[in-house]
Chains A and B, each alone.
Chain A
Amino acid sequence: MIKRKSCFCAILLLGLFMNRAEAHPHVWVTLHSEVLYAADGTMMGVRHAWTFDDMFSAYALQGISHAKKGQYTREELASLAQVNVESLKEYAYFTYVRADGKKLKFSDPVDYWLEYKNAALTLHFTLPLKAAASAKLMQIEIYDPTIFVDFEFARETPVSLSGAPQCSLTYDLPHQPTPAEQLRLSQLDSDPLDASSTYGQIFANKMLVTCP
């Protein structure tokens, strides 16, 4: 009797545990990001090129009129590009910048367009900082907190830096948690991170620009 009940409880707990799983990605973005610096050593903004997966590309292209089947020109895609960058504003363009730990803000995107190649759409856009900033350590992260969009740096040329020869750029990919990190994650409920913790950032696509 008790054995059956404990079996039942195990199934129940399993169900509960599963219930706490988080959102599912439905959009996959492979990105290349270029950090833009001015000649005076201040950061101006970020230039993104986001390539969507083929299924989401097909979805986004639904109903877009085009002259040739299977081909879309930049002009034909102009209105969609406009819609894309306008909708992204609500999500802060999934791009988060900190200058020596202090959060910076972006203005509306400029120079945006869409390109269709190999059954995939690529959204190009530049995010200018509201005010140019300089810092010893500039940290740029790209992620979707809701995980609806899965971001991943492109394998080839994931990141680049323009206009700051004195600075160096490194990047980190989101990775599978190591055993130590996994242990720490399992304790998050009982022993939460304090506000100043930067622990979670290891799970974002992260660029670091260090300047002298």
Chain B
Amino acid sequence: MTRPRDVVLIALVAILIAGATDILPAWSAPFGAPHPAADLSASGLTGWIFAEQAAVYRSLSTFIRAAKENGGAIWGLFGISFLYGVFHAVGPGHGKAVISSYLVANKETWRRGIILSFASATIQSVVAIVVVVIAAVLFGATAKAIGLTVHLVEIISYGLIILIGLRLLYVKGRSFLIALRELRWTQAPNLVFASAPVANGTAHRLSPERAGAIATRRGQCMVDGCTVHGFHCHDDQHASAWAHAHGPEPADLAGAGGWRRGLSAVVAVGLRPCSGAIIVLIFALAQDLFWTGVGATLMMGLGTALTVAAMATVAVSARQIASRIANSRAGAGMLAMRTTEVGAAALIVAFGVLLLAGDMASEQLWMFTG
């Protein structure tokens, strides 16, 4: 029975590690720019996705040109734009990673995961459209000015991600410490009590720290023996710790305050427009097909939302299964959950800092025109 549970716990840790591996190459970058070979190591499935999305992107220009000649071609364009969104979001990009980490850290529901994914993708499309309308259509700005605008928006977005991460880190860090303390203090007396016949009074001489340390190490077997010893109260204690540390239960999160809190993450992530969308919009504008470009951008957003929602669902499911296990194991399991949450929150901060520092490969729209 423990085996599948362990697998899930390991899987959850793997999510965090995978998130971290997105960061690691960025750390090593200053010591030598990674060679394209590193990117091409994404052979097989990822290689295929990589090639597909490049091909799809390149075909967008053909579809936009076709739409100019023949109005019916617009549906082909919308279809290919949707497909591009799906493939594009599969690649790197902090959006998916930040949203998944946010959902894991914040104990969000599956339904909210999907809604947040769609909301952030929609905001992303709308920001691209707004930037192009204001900069290009109204002011006739150059690519340089647009690149600078996107860069500025990007910095704000990364700053917000750091703030959200720090706030989560503070809240989750505190509940981690609470879980840690509960584990030590509630179990220490049990251990002394349980081991008293064996230790024959020596337990009295144990310093509180030492007893706590032993209790932590023995936490697993203490919980197993919980009902036998009549310490069923454990479950209640942990349930209350849960509520204390995490505010409202999932059901309450649907309230207005809950939505507003989710909104901050969605805006932070969605604020940064996709370079591809900006380029497609400007290209459509140059062909006098601006509204076609707007439609294509919204379809891209829809495709992106689908992929991000899928990823978010995986993250939320893993989180829920893990928390069910944690509930059944109390003590150590609870601590593992708190650790996971702190890890996810720390990951958000790390993403934000790396993105802001420009160490993480991001799409640099101003590469030629900055």
A interface with B by C-beta (< 8 Å): 1-2, 5-6, 8-9, 11-28, 52-56, 58-64, 80, 83-84, 87-88, 90-91, 123, 143-150, 174, 177, 182, 185-186, 188, 199-204
Interface range for B? 35 or more
Complex partner residue of B43 from A1, A27, A28, A186, CB under 8 angstroms: A186
A200 B38 Cβ-Cβ under 8 A: yes
Closest 3 CB pairs of A and B: A200-B37, A63-B142, A22-B39
Please name all residues of chain B whose beta carbon is closer than 8 Å to the beta carbon of A90 when the two chains form the complex.
370
Give chain B residues whose Cβ lies under 8 Å from the Cβ of A53.
58, 61
Query: Does B276 lie at the interface of the complex (its beta carbon under 8 Å from any beta carbon of A)?
Result: yes
A2 contacts B3, CB within 8 Å?
yes
> Cβ of A62 and Cβ of B142 under 8 Å apart?
yes
Within 8 Å of chain A (Cβ to Cβ): is B40? yes
* A13, A145, A204, most chain B CB atoms within 10 A: A145
**In the bound complex, do residue A12 and residue B41 qualify as a contact, i.e. CB atoms below 8 Å apart?**
no
Against A, the Cβ 8 Å flags (1 = close, 0 = not) of B1-39 are 001100110010011001101100000000001111111
Q: A19-B92, A20-B42 are in contact. List 14 more A-B contacts (CB 8 A).
A: A11-B314, A14-B45, A22-B42, A22-B92, A53-B58, A55-B283, A56-B279, A60-B368, A83-B368, A84-B368, A145-B33, A145-B35, A148-B364, A182-B43
- Which residue of the partner chain, among B145, B278, B283, B311, contacts A54 with CB atoms under 8 Å? B283
> Main secondary structure on chain A at its contact with chain B?
helix
Question: Are A23 and B367 neighbours in the complex by a CB distance under 8 Å?
Answer: no
Query: Which of A18, A19, A24, A147 contacts B36, CB < 8 Å?
Result: A147
Say if the beta carbon of B104 comes within 8 Å of chain A. no
Cβ contacts under 8 Å, B318 to chain A? 12
Give the CA-CA distance A52 to B53 in the complex, in Å. 18
Q: Which residues of A contact B90 (CB under 8 A)?
A: 18, 21
B225-264 Cβ-contact flags toward A at 8 Å (1 or 0) = 0000000000000000000000000000000000000000
Q: Tell me if B171 is interfacial: C-beta within 8 Å of chain A.
A: no
Out of B41, B92, B278, name the residue touching A185 (CB < 8 Å).
B41
Q: Is there an interface contact between B141 and A62, defined as CB atoms closer than 8 Å?
A: yes
Given A20-B21, A87-B367, are A143 and B57 also a contact pair (CB < 8 Å)? no
- Bound Cα distance A63, B136 (Å): 7
A70 CB to nearest chain B CB (Å)? 9
A144-B368 Cα distance, complex, nearest whole Å: 12
Q: Specify which of B8, B11, B35, B36 lies most central, judged by the most chain A CB atoms within 10 Å of its CB.
A: B36
**Interface membership of B185, Cβ < 8 A:** no
Contact of A203 among B18, B19, B33, B37 (CB under 8 A): B37
Contacts of B35 in A (CB 8 A): 143, 145, 200-201, 203-204
Q: Is B140 close to A, CB under 8 A?
A: yes
Q: Which residue of A lies closest to B60 (CB)?
A: A55
A-B contact pairs, 7 of them (CB 8 A): A17-B46, A18-B90, A64-B142, A84-B369, A146-B361, A150-B54, A188-B38
Does chain A have a CB within 8 A of B96?
yes
Contact A91 B39 (CB under 8 A): no
Report B-chain residues with C-beta under 8 Å of the C-beta of A16.
14-15, 18
Contact, CB under 8 Å: B46 / A21: yes
Distance in Å from the Cβ of A118 to the closest Cβ of chain B? 13
Instruction: Chain A residues near B39: list those with CB within 8 A.
Output: 22-23, 147
Q: How far is the CB of A181 from chain B (nearest CB, A)?
A: 9
The reply to whether A61 and B286 form a contact with Cβ atoms under 8 Å apart is yes
Residues of B within 8 A of A149 (CB): 367
Chain A residues whose CB sits within 8 angstroms of the CB of B338 once the complex forms? none
Nearest chain B CB to A128 CB, angstrom units: 20
Interface centre among B143, B278, B366 (most CB of A within 10 A): B143
Cβ of B327 within 8 Å of any chain A Cβ, yes or no, is no
Is residue B169 contacting chain A, with contact meaning CB distance below 8 A? Answer: no
Of listed B3, B40, B282, B318, residue having the most chain A CB within 10 A: B40
CB < 8 Å: which of A19, A91, A199, A201 contacts B18?
A19
Asked whether any CB of chain A lies closer than 8 Å to the CB of B363, the reply is: yes
Quick check: is B103 within 8 A (CB to CB) of the other chain? no
Q: Which of A5, A20, A24, A201 contacts B57 (CB 8 A)?
A: A24
Residue B190 interfacial (CB < 8 Å): no
User: Contact: A24 with B286, CB < 8 Å?
Assistant: no
Interface check B180, CB cutoff 8 A: no
Q: Which residues of A contact B369 (CB under 8 A)?
A: 59-60, 80, 83-84, 87
B110: CB under 8 A from chain A?
Answer: no
Are the C-beta atoms of B311 and A15 separated by less than 8 Å? yes
In the bound complex, what is the Cα–Cα distance between A132 and B92 (angstroms)? Answer: 40
User: B317 within 8 Å of A by Cβ?
Assistant: yes
**Cβ-defined partner of A5 (8 Å) among B7, B45, B278, B367:** B7
Q: Verify A9–B11 contact, CB threshold 8 A.
A: yes
Q: Which residues of B contact A174 (CB under 8 A)?
A: 36
CB-based contact A91/B367 at 8 Å: yes
Pair A22/B50 contact, Cβ less than 8 Å: yes
